[in-house]
Structure 1
């Protein structure tokens, strides 16, 4: 706790885990709460049957018996990991989560822990997220959940869900800020050498990273140069000249190795750059468009509609709302 801050009653935080949990899903949020103030939070880990259990990487952990955790608790968080399917199939795992969630002030999940909340019916009719690689499955298996694959965490009422692994630390920082204020969250982030709270609406997965890297140089180096210089002249003729190829041969080689045309790749890189600026800066849409290589705000808008499915203004508004 920061010097001069008032002392408050400890908030009970229970982190629910299982055999095969992703270790960072548990340890990451735990460390955030500890750094925010050991005198502010009473932390405990719980699993079915209690006792020692292993994370997916072989880390040996210890926990209380989940069935013996009793109300009242302030915050219930369910971690994720490779063992989530086995855990969710066990009524002794899902039942206590549902029971504890009924009286907890707030409930949340990290990564695939969202499947546990969904199995307990806690996400029905709510917007939620999980690790980008599991979003499609979550939506398919739980059609009553409005799955949003984009943000690093989502708040819907008193239910919070986060994306994969390190996003759990972002969620924990947001919870600390709610409880103790921005000053305490920034203190914890600095102590842990973290980015000072990424807002929840920030994209969890870079669109540019979805595209495969070229098999060999010089196209692989050219891809990196494009990402670093979205406002440059990225026409096929200019890109071909940079790698000493004819425009025709360059376009064919690029499409073969990267899996898309140079124009489509450039468009996605520019949209990604614009998304970051819309998330992080107050610049006007026209200025963002110019900074990211779009010929005009209208050009950026068309690309956003094609790739992000919403116009830039709506994206910025949604981002700020999700991160508030």
Structure 2
């Protein structure tokens, strides 16, 4: 695995390193990268014809230096154990996406139960699939257009299992509850409670789509408490039950 970081550009310009990587590519079972390490592989010509990604800040640079690659700006990693090419040559987005890549490798070699056990040991919320977007569709626009709420919106997903009352949210944002409600309505067009429900719903759909837990466990982990509360939220927003969602959209 070729790491990224501040030294990625210098490494990409190192001819001796590029030659060594090209030789290593013929000897190893797998060759991949984390974050901007994809630029090193690209400069060595090792991503030609390969589905590739990198950190979103480096995406334009990757496209420029590897025009023969199939660049995907909206995924966490490109490892696919069932693909003849992507199982041997792959890339990942930012540093945390490299953890998802590593877990995918563990799952391919040693099975899903062990990969989930490792994720729990690392205190990760879940093992994310490689095709998941680099940005949350719920949280991306808010952090751009609601600067007063940025820190609170980044804090909420890590606390969804807790009882997030308006008073608790207001205390975290250092605002009176009524002021917080007005700011949410003005900048996000919704109430704090409805926003929290949307974040919980997104987390629940991610868990159910990967079949990482039962409906009852998902309800508890995502802060819904009781499965019936989760079911009502699914019906209200998605017009489907959690169980039907897992059966229809869940991983094999």
Report if TM-score (shorter chain) is over 0.5: yes
CA offsets 1:122-145 (integer angstroms, 9 cap, x no match)? 211121111122123212332211
CA contact (8 A) 1:270 1:293 kept: no
CA contact (8 A) 1:88 1:94 kept: yes
1:212 aligns with 2:139: no
Residue from 122, 137, 141 that aligns with 1:192: 122
- 1:262–1:171 Cα change, 3 Å: same
Does the residue aligned with 1:154 lie in a helix, a strand or coil?
coil
Report the alpha carbon displacement of residue 262 of structure 1 after superposing the two structures with TM. 4.4
Does the residue aligned with 1:186 lie in a helix, a strand or coil?
helix
Unaligned segments of structure 1, at least 5 residues? 1-76, 229-239, 255-260, 264-268, 298-312
- 1:223–1:262 Cα change, 3 Å: farther
Structure with a larger share of its residues in strand: 1
CA offsets 1:177-230 (integer angstroms, 9 cap, x no match)? 2222223323433333334532212222224235425354xx779979x998xx
- 1:129–1:244 Cα change, 3 Å: closer
User: Whole-Å Cα distance in 2 between the matches of residues 104 and 220 of structure 1?
Assistant: 44
CA contact (8 A) 1:213 1:223 kept: no
Residue from 117, 128, 131 that aligns with 2:41: 117
Report the alpha carbon displacement of residue 277 of structure 1 after superposing the two structures with TM. 5.1
CA contact (8 A) 1:154 1:201 kept: yes
User: Whole-Å Cα distance in 2 between the matches of residues 181 and 244 of structure 1?
Assistant: 46
* Aligned twin of 2:30: 106
How many aligned positions are there?
198
Structure with a larger share of its residues in helix: 2
1:146 aligns with 2:70: yes
Report the aligned-residue RMSD.
Answer: 4.3
1:176 aligns with 2:100: no
CA contact (8 A) 1:222 1:243 kept: no
- 1:275–1:128 Cα change, 3 Å: farther
- 1:96–1:295 Cα change, 3 Å: closer
Which is higher, the Rg of structure 1 or of structure 2?
1
- 1:273–1:131 Cα change, 3 Å: farther
* Aligned twin of 2:182: 243
* Aligned twin of 1:126: 50
CA offsets 1:98-120 (integer angstroms, 9 cap, x no match)? 11011211111000111111112
Report the alpha carbon displacement of residue 274 of structure 1 after superposing the two structures with TM. 7.0
User: Whole-Å Cα distance in 2 between the matches of residues 222 and 83 of structure 1?
Assistant: 33
1:261-272 alignment to 2 at 5 Å?
Answer: 262=189
User: Whole-Å Cα distance in 2 between the matches of residues 223 and 292 of structure 1?
Assistant: 25
User: Whole-Å Cα distance in 2 between the matches of residues 244 and 81 of structure 1?
Assistant: 37
CA contact (8 A) 1:117 1:123 kept: yes
